Chains A and B, each alone.
Chain A
Amino acid sequence: MARKVPEINAGSMADISFLLLIFFLVTTTMDVDSGIVRRLPPMPEKDAPIPEVKERNIFNVLVNKNDRLFINKGWGDIRTLRADTKEFLSNPRNREDLPEKKVENIQFLGDFPVSRGVISLKNDRGTSYNMYIQVQNELTAAVNELRDELSRQKFGKPFSELTDQDMVSAIQKAIPMSISEAEPEDIGGTK
């Protein structure tokens, strides 16, 4: 005397799942967060001695409140910043006024002249964030391009495609990302 179980109508199943689908479409985001990664330096200790750096080893980049660039001792241009930075960091002709190099022994690369140049970036409180990011981007691009060139020359493929962690750190050691941001100061007022 088994009673026949009536079949459940599954016709509205599609509607229910559509509803769920639309709910998820609305409440979620798909954007992948990306950005320029930086590491902040720790706060300087009080009365800490200011490290002596030779003038030839510093690449001064200043951005004023009108978003104009000032590189070393003259007006700069964002379009030439990348090339200037690359020349400063690589110093291909070993010029006297560009940074000196220190030969270091690095795995895979052997004795490699590592530049001692430091990029010093300083901005005003009134600088726009967009300009600041553009400058950061150009500086990063310069370092990345140098790393890419070295990686192609030594390992035959671009830096971003290196899979061996030791190779990556060898390149990073050979061309360090030496961008330092000056301690903030109030100059020239706000806005």
Chain B
Amino acid sequence: MARFKKEKSGELPAISTASMPDIIFMLLFFFMVTTTMREVTLKVRTRAPEATEVQKLEKKALVSFIYIGPPLQERLYGTESRIQLNDSFRTIADIPEFIYMEREARVEADRPFLTTSLKVDLEAKMGIVTDVKQELRKVGAFKINYSTRKKQEKPKD
């Protein structure tokens, strides 16, 4: 059996790493496509409550967010729930302007489909949320979405 000579043992052939960049690039593109850029720096805590009957928010470009919750920096701003629009704390009175700006930023055809997503901390009180909702009604931003986490429903016994 001279034809099947045993190879010399000991030295392992080096694994080619030439395709490594390609693999990494593939991963990179995957992440670029499936994720979205973080847009705002959160200044309030927003732990979403859990619910079972949730619907996915479609068309992320047509969603404007309003954050409500206790400030992250408690020493500076206290524990009372505050409203955050874009990158800063705001009051109820700023909401109409915020909605107008959001509308201006969209193409006219898309404006009726603009949804306002309320990201509210589960410990916040309804008072502030009701005030925000009233403002939204006044400016005609009727489509809203209470941001919640999906909870798996317990099987019935």
Contacts and interface: CB of A to CB of B under 8 A. Distances in A.
Interface of A: 10-11, 13-14, 16-18, 20-21, 24-25, 27-30, 32-43, 123-130, 132-134, 136-137, 140-141, 144, 184, 190-191
Interface in B118-157: 118, 120-127, 129-130, 133-134, 136-138, 140-150
Nearest to B118: A35
A159 B144 CA distance: 23
Given A17-B21, A38-B145, 8 more contacts: A29-B36, A30-B34, A34-B54, A36-B146, A37-B144, A40-B133, A129-B123, A136-B51
Given A21-B28, A33-B147, A34-B150, A40 B142 contact: yes
Interface of B: 17-18, 20-21, 24-25, 27-28, 31-32, 34-38, 48-49, 51-57, 60, 63, 115, 117-118, 120-127, 129-130, 133-134, 136-138, 140-150
A134 B53 CA distance: 10
A125 B127 contact: yes
A24 B31 contact: yes
15 contacts: A13-B21, A14-B21, A18-B24, A21-B27, A24-B31, A28-B36, A32-B57, A34-B147, A34-B150, A36-B148, A37-B145, A137-B51, A140-B53, A144-B53, A190-B125
Interface of A is mostly: mixed
Contacts of B125: 125-129, 190-191
A17 B24 contact: yes
